[in-house]
Structure 1
Amino acid sequence: MSSFPGLIDEIPGISVDRFNGDNFNSAVFFLSHCHTDHMQGLDLQFFQRIHDKHQYLYCTPISKAILINMFKLNDNLVNTIRTIDGCSPIIINYNQDSKILYLTVTCIPAGHCPGSIGFLFENEQYRILYTGDFRFDIDDLSKIKPLHTNVQDKIIPKKFDTIYLDTTFFNSEFRYLPSRQKALREICKIVDNWISQNEKNIVVLECSANYGPEHLFIELSKALGIRIHVKDKVFNSYTIIPELANCISDNPRESKIHACMGKLNFRSGMYCRSDVEPEFILTVVPSTLRWRNKNVSKCIFEWDENSRRFYVCYSCHSSHDELEAFIKYFSPDKLYPCVCPNNLKFEEFKSQLNQVLNSSTINASNYDLNLSRYKSLIEVNPDVSNFSDDD
């Protein structure tokens, strides 16, 4: 859950992923993705206010489509949303304290959900990276072109003054999390096995958040050739996302895979299919918090035979060790945590985060070290479960 207040200390006049309180005074707004903890303050009144002040919100085309559908924006308010996509920088000018300021903005694919991005902000004084919610494979860090530069024919990481970092799982209790690909293989196998046993069998995907498991829906639908019956409240938004549109359904009788219910509704059966008896329902639960302090390097799922519930470790956020590798690879001057654990004060957690940075700072002459240096940070994790293939 994001605790970032929205303001970038080094760049006055802009707000990112927070649209209330002190952010009212900003001149330019940015949205990394459409999850509710990053949308506080976004409502019709917000769009009317920035329309009246000739201001703009920047986001991806997918996020724009979701916002239009979510808030039923008219044409005037739609025009307050400007899209940024790909990895080509744009230059934004805005008025702050009676001065015209210029800001170069580049979006960075975040690997979190459809339309999710981070932002690279650059002006005459600072280079700032705001990651938004993200999950990168450490093997892919060197492939993110906007975060690298060419110096004397060497591609090296850019130097950042501050990285505003998704620290959701920067916690020793989540040192290792399996890749989404590995988790998806487990889910595909158990779902395929269940629905092939009996034509009456149905699978329920227990996904508590309205938005978040889109990547799971896409990959599961592609692998099994089955559309996913999703919640009514997200169906219209999903249909305007090309990669999702062919993977979902609003017809409960069209699919054997259902993600149409809240977290606890399954216990009373399927409200969309009253004809399905409980013994024909398998519940698959993709989750992360359940795996706190568990050794998921050896097995990434748990099976409860009595309730026919299949739990899989599945995360759209980077693990502790992935974040540590990210920090050591880019080695910014400062780090700002965008998610603070409930049991810590912000300044205490920020200090802990920057201690990791200070203990492993890499100077500019060492930027061309091969990424394999950092693989030692990630535990070698062969999956020894009965269902998995080796990575």
Structure 2
Amino acid sequence: MPPKTLNETPNFPSPIRIRIPAKMPPIEMPKGLPFSVDTWTPSSNRKKHHFLTHAHKDHSQGISTHASFPIYATPITKALTLNYYPHLNESLFVDIEIGQSIAVDDSLEGFTVTAFDANHCPGAVMFLFEGAFGNILHTGDCRLTPECLQRLPEKYVGKISREPKCRLDYVFLDCTFGTFSSKMPSKHVAIRQVIDCIWNHPDARVVYLTCDLLGQEEILVSVCQTFGSKIFIDKENNPECFQSLSLTVPDIISHDPSSRFHLFDGYPRLSERAEAKLAEARANLQPDPLIIRPSAQWFVYEDVSSEAYKRKTDRFKEARKDQFGIWHVCYSMHSSRDELEWALRLLAPRWVVSTTPECRAMELGYVKRHCSYGNLAPDDPLWKLLDIDLKAPFVNDEEASCTTSPFLMSRLEPSQERFSEKEISTVSSQAKESSVTLFGRARLGLDNSTLIYENIEKPVISYMDEEDVEVQLTKGTCADRDGPEGQQESKLNEREEIVKNSSIACSRKEVGENIRKLYRSMYVSAPKPLPSLVDLLNNRKRTKRRLLS
């Protein structure tokens, strides 16, 4: 019996806008490791061994230019990648099956690699590396469910009440939805919601399923088995998806456009195309088609007015309809924050690195509690892994103030320090700029900007009392100074006339343009300036007057 009819007019906060951040490629592996994972750049090409976790294109970006033997991947991942990049030579790949271990010979130090199911898409694996560098788990893209973790070696998985017998040294973790704290439904539950949504719309002659992404094949297979109808895929308009499904689930494909179920592209402009399909059906006096989008992105990135509403668990109990007529089901191929925190508690790794997005792991509670530079001794293997020599010459205090990472220093408590502050500042300053990989910047909290701090002019602003409407500026505060040093000093000594606050270039509530450019280059908001000494003294005087009056 089909379930009862759903309420098709839920109360959604208005307006709803989808904001999906750009997908970033995975980070480079540390320089001290002999292998790369999912990166195809000149830097990673210098590695001796290469690993591909799955066939999504953001993990194979650049492979056509920088591929070199050997590339370890599952047979399905290899077949899909060769389908995307037909000019690649199949001889570059070395097959590794899920559950298989391979001993990799290396001129410096050999290591063992084992592939485990990543619960992400067909052929997707996590790689466990074991060697002289330590025990490293690279998750690729994953959905860390209890079943997924149970497939890992028992010695690396602990319990809530005790740590594992053997702790992982490093986990390179997929943190795509690391800031999304709501509990997502399992894949099985989400597929059941898709089926229920179709049952509740028996009058819909056409059902459009936006399942064109690698990893959504389970939905198509379940729909095909439940309703006894294959899925029509337009080979001419979507040849890449057709080829992928031909490799993974060829039995569900229909070449008949009269089939009730059609594959529908999720990108681009899904809402516009959905409205066009609905308008076309109404113009022909036909029932509205059913358009279902199984994806977590709508639930994660929707712009709602209330954070409490976003945390409601009932949002995930059934398909939900938006104002464009699209039914959304929370089907996720990535872990939520709760799943990541739970997995880290069981694995209890010594260090966690976010593969994508960069630096996201720093926001996880486990990382804040257990992954501190203050816990690392000077001879810890992590420094060698990063190719950092703590015995390098010290830098002076002025250089340290420009190069010491705020994140690094914030993680150190006085009771935890095992080496001096100057030694810590050396970490980010002694190595050559080109040797610090994206991994190094992520771990040390360095920015991605190419700007040099010494070249940035600091604005000189005189702040007046809050009740005043005029600000006194030093000449040249918000302008670039290109003149000789002597001319600059003479200009600095000149006072500009009092300017009305409505026409000043830099108001009392803002910092200078150069400083704002610096913060924009680091993708963080510019801080508000600290109150001046005049402000503090005036506030103190006003407080005293109030107390005495």
TM-score class normalised by the smaller sequence: 0.7 to 0.9
2:129 and 2:213 map into 1 onto residues whose CA distance is: 30
1:276 and 1:147 map into 2 onto residues whose CA distance is: 60
1:128-148 CA deviation, whole Å, 9 max, x = no partner?
00011111323653x214353
Residue of 309, 313, 319 corresponding to 1:297: 313
Note closer, same or farther for the CA distance 1:266–1:121 as it changes in structure 2 (3 Å cut): same
1:33-58 CA deviation, whole Å, 9 max, x = no partner?
11122111122x434xx2xxxx2111
Q: CA deviation at 1:296?
A: 4.8
Please say if residues 107 and 119 of structure 1, whose CA atoms lie closer than 8 Å, have aligned partners that are also in contact.
yes
1:126 and 1:325 map into 2 onto residues whose CA distance is: 23
Please say if residues 93 and 101 of structure 1, whose CA atoms lie closer than 8 Å, have aligned partners that are also in contact.
yes
Please say if residues 165 and 338 of structure 1, whose CA atoms lie closer than 8 Å, have aligned partners that are also in contact.
yes
Note closer, same or farther for the CA distance 1:325–1:57 as it changes in structure 2 (3 Å cut): same
Q: CA deviation at 1:111?
A: 0.5
The aligned counterpart of 1:228 is: 231
Q: CA deviation at 1:60?
A: 0.7
1:229 and 1:280 map into 2 onto residues whose CA distance is: 18
Q: CA deviation at 1:84?
A: 0.6
Note closer, same or farther for the CA distance 1:159–1:257 as it changes in structure 2 (3 Å cut): same
Q: CA deviation at 1:150?
A: 11
Note closer, same or farther for the CA distance 1:357–1:213 as it changes in structure 2 (3 Å cut): farther
The aligned counterpart of 2:250 is: 245
Amino acid at match of 1:36: K
Instruction: Report 1:11-50 matches (<5 A).
Output: 11=33, 13-43=34-64, 45-47=65-67, 50=68
Q: CA deviation at 1:63?
A: 0.6
Determine whether 1:66 maps to 2:80. yes
> 1:129 aligns to what SS in structure 2?
strand
Residue of 117, 128, 139 corresponding to 1:120: 128
> 1:85 aligns to what SS in structure 2?
coil
Please say if residues 337 and 350 of structure 1, whose CA atoms lie closer than 8 Å, have aligned partners that are also in contact.
no
Amino acid at match of 2:124: S
Q: CA deviation at 1:127?
A: 0.6
The aligned counterpart of 2:203 is: 197
1:175 and 1:15 map into 2 onto residues whose CA distance is: 33
1:26 and 1:168 map into 2 onto residues whose CA distance is: 26
> 2:109 aligns to what SS in structure 1?
strand
1:220 and 1:64 map into 2 onto residues whose CA distance is: 27
User: Greater shift after overlay, 216-225 or 55-64?
Assistant: 216-225
Note closer, same or farther for the CA distance 1:127–1:247 as it changes in structure 2 (3 Å cut): same
Q: CA deviation at 1:100?
A: 4.1
Note closer, same or farther for the CA distance 1:114–1:235 as it changes in structure 2 (3 Å cut): same
1:16 and 1:305 map into 2 onto residues whose CA distance is: 38
Residue of 343, 349, 364 corresponding to 2:362: 349
Determine whether 1:330 maps to 2:347. yes
The aligned counterpart of 2:508 is: none
Instruction: Report 1:1-391 matches (<5 A).
Output: 1-8=23-30, 11=33, 13-43=34-64, 45-47=65-67, 50=68, 55-73=69-87, 77-94=89-106, 99-138=107-146, 141=149, 143-146=150-153, 148=155, 156=164, 158-171=166-179, 173-194=180-201, 196-197=202-203, 201-207=205-211, 210-230=213-233, 231-241=238-248, 244-253=249-258, 255-263=259-267, 264=270, 265-269=273-277, 279-292=287-300, 293=307, 294-300=310-316, 301=318, 303-304=320-321, 307-340=324-357, 346=359, 349=362, 354-357=367-370
Q: CA deviation at 1:354?
A: 1.7
Please say if residues 147 and 158 of structure 1, whose CA atoms lie closer than 8 Å, have aligned partners that are also in contact.
no
1:325-373 CA deviation, whole Å, 9 max, x = no partner?
10000101100011237xxxx38937866214459xxxxxxxxxxxxxx
The aligned counterpart of 2:545 is: none
> 1:182 aligns to what SS in structure 2?
helix
Please say if residues 296 and 330 of structure 2, whose CA atoms lie closer than 8 Å, have aligned partners that are also in contact.
yes
> 2:122 aligns to what SS in structure 1?
coil
Please say if residues 116 and 152 of structure 2, whose CA atoms lie closer than 8 Å, have aligned partners that are also in contact.
no
Q: CA deviation at 1:310?
A: 1.3
Amino acid at match of 1:204: Y
Number of corresponding residues: 327
Amino acid at match of 1:206: T
Q: CA deviation at 1:239?
A: 1.4
Larger radius of gyration: 2
Note closer, same or farther for the CA distance 1:144–1:8 as it changes in structure 2 (3 Å cut): farther
1:299 and 1:2 map into 2 onto residues whose CA distance is: 28
Name stretches of at least 5 consecutive residues in structure 1 with no aligned partner: 360-391
Name stretches of at least 5 consecutive residues in structure 2 with no aligned partner: 1-22, 301-306, 373-549
Q: CA deviation at 1:17?
A: 0.7
Please say if residues 74 and 96 of structure 2, whose CA atoms lie closer than 8 Å, have aligned partners that are also in contact.
yes
Q: CA deviation at 1:160?
A: 0.7
Amino acid at match of 2:94: R
Please say if residues 104 and 121 of structure 1, whose CA atoms lie closer than 8 Å, have aligned partners that are also in contact.
yes
> 1:280 aligns to what SS in structure 2?
coil
Bigger share in strand = 1
Q: CA deviation at 1:183?
A: 1.1
Q: Which has the higher contact order (CA 8 A, sep 6+)?
A: 1
Percent identity for Structure 1 against Structure 2: 25
1:17 and 1:116 map into 2 onto residues whose CA distance is: 12
